[in-house]
Structure 1
Amino acid sequence: MSDQRPQYGELATPEEQRRAAGLPPLDEVVIAPPSAPLPPAVQAGNPVNESSTKRSHPVDRFATIVMLAYGLINVVITGLSYLDLPSVMNQTMKVVGIEGEFTNFAQAKTWGMIAAIVLVVGWSITAALSIRRLRRGRLTWWLPIAGAIVTIGVVSVCIAVPMMSDPAFVAHLEQMTTP
C-alpha cells in the first residue's frame, strides 16, 4: 500500500489538498448562485465577520437586566407611595425631626402624581434604550444607572415643590438658618 499524501516538507497540489481533506475534485464542484442577496459590505468585497457585529457580553447583559428588574420593583413601590405623598411627607418630617405636620395636601397630591408618572416614564425610556443597545450588542450596564440618576433628579424636584411650600418645613428651615 503506497501513501499518496505528500511527505513532510513537500508541497501538495490543490488536487492533493482537496483529496486529503475529503473534498471532491475541483472539476466536480458546482457553485450555486446565492439564494439571498448578500449584504452590501460583502458585495463590495469587504467580508463581514458576524462575530464583530454582534459581540456577546453576557456579564453586561446580566447586569443590565438585573438593574432594570430592580428599577421596576423600585418604580412600583415608590410610585405607589408617591400617590399618597402627604403621608410620606408627614413621615419624612417626623424622621428629620421637624415639629408640626405637613399641611400642603393639595400640592402634594398633584406633585405626587406627577412624580409617580415621571418614575414610570423614566424607567420605560431607560428600559427601551437598554434593550435597544443590548440587541445591537453594545455595552449597556451604564444606561440603567444614568437613567436612574436623571429620573431621580427630576422626581426630587417634583417632591421638593410641595415640601418647600409647606409652612412647617419652611419654619424649620428658617429656624436652622438663624443663629
Structure 2
Amino acid sequence: MSDDSGVPAPGAERPRPQFGEYATPEEQRARIQRPEVTEALEAGVAPQPERESPAAAKAPVALAAPATGGARVDRIVTFGLLFYGLFSVVTTIVQLLNFPEYAERGAQMLGVTATFTNLSAGYVWGAAASLVYGVGWLLTAVFTWRRLRRGRIAFWVPLVGFVATALVAGVCVTMALVGDAQFMSAILDSVPN
C-alpha cells in the first residue's frame, strides 16, 4: 500500500516496473542500439547527443525510410513488369523457334515481300535468341526477388533486364538475317534513298 504521496508504505511490495527500470545494461544496449550511451551512464558521465553527419542532415526523410505505401506500389509495379515480361518472353520464344516465318513476318510489316532462305542459320540463331530471352528473364527475376527480399526498390530491374536481354537477342536475330544475302537485299532495296 502507499499513502497519497505515492511512496510505498514500509513492508509493502514495490510495484512492478513498467518502463525497464530493472533492465540489465546488456538489455538496455540491445534496446537503445547506442552502446556508447550505456557505457557513458555506467561510467557516470553524461552521454553526448547523437551528431548527424552533414550529408544525413541534408538528406530528405522520405529517402531514408521509404513509406509503406511506396514499397507496396513498387512491389505491384515490379511483379506486373515481371509477369508482362514472362508473357512477352514466352510468345517471342515460340515465334523465334520458327525463324524463317518470324523473319518473313517482319519483312511484311515493313511492306516487303521476301523469303528467308538460309534455314539452318535461321534455326540456330533463332534458338540462340530464344535461349537468351529465357535466361535473361530468369536472371532478371532472380535479381528482382533478391532486391525485394532486402526491402529495396526493384521496379527498375525488370526494365534494365529487358533492355539488356533485347540487345543481346537482337544481335542473334541480326546475325541470322545478315546470313541470308537475298533476304537482306530485298529488305535494303525497299528502303527509299
Same fold by TM-score, threshold 0.5 exceeded? Answer: yes
CA deviations 1:97-140 (Å, max 9, x no partner) are 22331111111100111111100110111111111000111111
After TM superposition, where is structure 1 displaced by more than 2 Å over at least 4 residues in a row?
Answer: 29-35, 41-46, 52-56, 97-100, 167-170, 172-179
Assess if the C-alpha contact under 8 Å between 2:133 and 2:165 holds in 1. Answer: yes
Q: Give the match for residue 156 of structure 1.
A: 170
Structure 1 unaligned spans of 5+: 6-12, 17-22, 47-51
Counterpart position of 1:77 = 91
Give me the CA root mean square deviation. 3.5
**Cα distance between partner residues in 1 of 2:110 and 2:192:** 18
Corresponding residue for residue 103 of structure 1? 117
- Give the whole-Å Cα distance in 2 for the aligned partners of 1:105 and 1:144: 33
**Corresponding residue for residue 16 of structure 2:** 24
What TM-score do the two structures reach when normalised by structure 1? 0.70
Cα 1:112–1:63 change in 2 (3 A) is: same
Q: Which runs of 5+ in 2 are unaligned?
A: 9-14, 38-63
Measured in 1, the distance between the counterparts of 2:186 and 2:36 equals: 73
Once residues 80 and 117 of structure 1 are traced to their aligned partners in structure 2, the CA distance between those partners, rounded to angstroms, is 11
1:8 matched to which residue of 2?
Answer: none
TM-score, length-scaled by structure 2: 0.65
Q: Provide closer, same or farther for how the CA distance between residues 55 and 127 of structure 1 changes in structure 2, counting only shifts above 3 A.
A: farther
| Alpha-carbon shift at residue 170 of structure 1 (Å) | 2.4
The 8 Å contact of residues 99 and 168 in structure 1, kept in 2 or not, is answered as no
**Residues 163-178 of structure 1 aligned to structure 2 (within 5 Å):** 163-176=177-190
**Greater RCO (Cα-Cα under 8 Å, separation 6 or more):** 1
How do 1:108-123 residues align onto structure 2 when only pairs under 5 Å count? 108-123=122-137
Do the aligned partners of residues 4 and 128 (structure 1) sit closer, same or farther apart at CA in structure 2, a change above 3 Å counting? farther
Instruction: Determine what percentage of the aligned residue pairs are the same residue.
Output: 29
Aligned residues, how many? 153
